[in-house]
Amino acid sequence: MEQLFTILESHYEEMVSIRRFLHENPELSFQEIHTPNYIANYHRKLGLEVREGVGGRGVVATLKGAKPGKTVALRADFDALAIQEQNDIPYKSKVDGVMHACGHDGHTATLLVLAKALVAMKDELQGNIVFIHQFAEEIAPGGAKPMIEDGCLDGVDVIFGTHLWAPAPLGDVLVRNGAIMAAADRLEVTIQGKGGHGAEPHHSVDSILVASQFITQLQTVVSRRIDPLKSAVVSIGHFEAINPFNVIAEKVELKGTVRTFDEQVRTQIENEIELLLKSVCEGFHATYEYAFTRGYPPVVNHKKETQFLADVACQISEVHNVIECSPLMVGEDFSYYLEKVPGTFFITGAKDPAWKDAYPHHHAQFNFDESAMLIAAKTLGLATLKYLKQSKK
C-alpha cells in the first residue's frame, strides 16, 4: 500500500497540472468534445483498454490485473457549468461564460493519475479496475444512466466515488450509510392571467399577484403537509414576467427545484404542489400549466461498502477525521450506479485551512484546496487494492 502512496505523491504535480488545464478549458454538459478525447488519450498512453462515446460522450478505461479476481469501478465526472468565472487565478477559465465551479476538473485529474499509479502496480493486482469518466452530471437526465445502459458496469462487483467538497475542511472524509444526497426534481409553472392597464386592475387578472400568492403559500407544502421527521426542500429560483412597468402582466413563468430522500414524500410533494396551484389560480380566476420532472433519485450508499470505505480512510495519514455526515440536499446521478451494484459515495474535504470561508459549489468564485485530490486518490486507490485483495473470485 505504501507503494501506491509513493507513486501518487511523486505524480502530485502532474495531478495539479491536469486539473488546471481542465479548469482553463471547461466544456458544458452534453457539449463535451475535447475533454473526453483528452481523457481517452491519457488512458491509451497508459496501455489500457479504452471505450469512447459510452452512452454518448463517456469514456471507460479498463485495467486488467495480472491475477484473476473481482472488478472495482471508480467514477469521476468531467462537465462544467454555465458560469462566468470571477476568480483571479493563473489558470482561470479561458471559455467565456463556462467554468468548472463544482470540482469536476479535480475529480478527473484525481482519477487519471490514480490510473497511472495502479498501472505501475499491474503485476500485483488481483482483479480488474474500471475507470468510468462520466459526462453531463450537472444537467438531468445526466450521463450516468446512458453509460450504464451502454455497459459501463458490466462485470463490475463494486463501485466507489467521491466528491471534492469545498465547505468541508481539508483532512475530513465524510461518509454515510443510506441516503447521503437527495433526489433532485424540477418544477415548472406557467400562470395565465389577463393583462391590462396598471391603473385599472379590476379589468384584469394579475398573474404576478397570483404567482406571488402561490410562492408564499408553497412553503406550507413542506411545513404543513409533510411529516416533520422527513426532510424536504421546495425552492423557486426563477420568476419571469416580461412586461412594461405600468401594465398588469398576463403571464408569469416559474421554475424551481424539489429535494427529497423518501419516494413517498417525493410523490406527495408533486401532488400537493398542483393542488395548491389549482386552488390559488381558481381563487383569482387564473389558469395554469404545471410540469414536475423527476431528476436524479437519491444517492443511497450500501452499508457494508460504506463501513469498508470508512475503515480504509482511517488508514491514510492525511485524513484527520472520518465523520458520519448528515444527508446533503444536493443531487448526484451517482445514484444510478448504486442502484445497479454495491458501493459507496463519499465526501473529501477540500477547504483550504487558510480560508475563513469557502465559496459554495456553483459559485463564480468557487475553488478548492488541490491537495484534497491527493487524499481522494489515496482513499480511492487504497479501497480498490484492499477490496481486490480480500475478495478473490
Q: Give me the mean pLDDT over the 307-325 stretch.
A: 97
Write the DSSP symbol of residue 273: H
Q: Give me the mean pLDDT over the 180-189 stretch.
A: 97
| Residue pair 230/177 in contact by the 8 Å Cβ criterion | no
User: Has residue 392 got a pLDDT over 80?
Assistant: no
| Residue pair 261/298 in contact by the 8 Å Cβ criterion | yes
| 11 known ligand binder | no
| 104 known ligand binder | yes
What domains are there in the chain, each with its CATH number?
2-181+298-390 (3.40.630.10), 183-296 (3.30.70.360)
Write the DSSP symbol of residue 187: E
| 281 known ligand binder | no
User: Has residue 193 got a pLDDT over 80?
Assistant: yes
- What does the CA dihedral 118, 123, 126, 128 come to, rounded to 10 degrees? 50
Tell me, what's the pLDDT at 1?
Answer: 75
| 318 known ligand binder | no
| Residue pair 217/206 in contact by the 8 Å Cβ criterion | no
| 138 known ligand binder | yes
Residue type, 210: V
Tell me, what's the pLDDT at 391?
Answer: 72
Give the relative orientation of helices 2-10 and 12-24 as an angle to the nearest 10 degrees: 50
User: Has residue 317 got a pLDDT over 80?
Assistant: yes
Q: What is the DSSP string of 76-142?
A: EE--BBS-------TT---STT-B--SSHHHHHHHHHHHHHHHHHTGGG-EEEEEEEEES--SSTT-
Q: Give me the mean pLDDT over the 3-16 stretch.
A: 97
Annotated catalytic sites, by residue?
79, 137
Beta bridge partners of 163: 347
Tell me, what's the pLDDT at 190?
Answer: 98
For residue 232, CA distances in Å to 138, 226, 301, 307 come to 21, 8, 19, 27
| Residue pair 258/140 in contact by the 8 Å Cβ criterion | no
End-to-end Cα, the chain, rounded Å: 21
- Checking DSSP bridges between strand 321-324 and strand 172-175, what pairing results, if any? parallel
| Residue pair 208/241 in contact by the 8 Å Cβ criterion | yes
Mean residue pLDDT across the chain: 97
- Closest of 114, 42, 105, 106 to residue 74, by C-alpha: 114
The pLDDT-based confidence of 337 (bands split at 50, 70, 90) is very high
> CA-CA distance, 159 to 167, in Å (whole number)?
25
